[in-house]
Structure 1
Amino acid sequence: MKKDVFEHLSTAQLIKRRDLLKGVSIGLGIVAITAIGILLYIFITNGFEDMPSTSTIPAFMLPVFFLPMLVHLGKLNTEIKRRNQQ
């Protein structure tokens, strides 16, 4: 069976880590949305023919980088709920 990575942390530490991760994910989400918006604005104003299509890859790959953070946030939330039920 897999060892629980949160068993050595107290509930207060888990809540603090969850709040930090939540703030970081909101901040990075705002940056990602802004980057995609700026990229779309540049494409619309300059036309799609002038820009290489490979310049869209970094902006549209940003949501993929959020997945591990969101998975970790979900695990933190379930551990906090599990401890509060006991």
Structure 2
Amino acid sequence: MPHDPILQEKVDILSFTVSNQEETIRILRKTLSEMTESLSKARKEVRDLDNKLEKAISSPQPAVNTNSSTWLKRIGKFPSPPAKLDLSKIDS
């Protein structure tokens, strides 16, 4: 069988193309595996956060005290109101 350089070049190009496609497939499979693992971790984190939220919603909330006596106990007295500005005493 005689050696045909054009046919050999086509075979080499096809071989190179197949090799590149196989490498691309390996990379895509690895990426898919990593993405699947990452998604699994994210789902677990969402479930954990959802459970924490459900517990927070279902647990009794502490009462919020808006009574001014809280301020008095903490500070001892209310702050003084700001002094009124007497415009008649301002020199022009």
When normalised by structure 1's length, the TM-score is 0.41
Q: Is the radius of gyration larger for structure 1 or structure 2?
A: 2
Higher relative contact order, structure no. (Cα contacts within 8 Å, ≥ 6 residues apart): 1
Query: Structure 2 length as normaliser, TM-score?
Result: 0.39
The structure with the largest helix share of the pair is 1
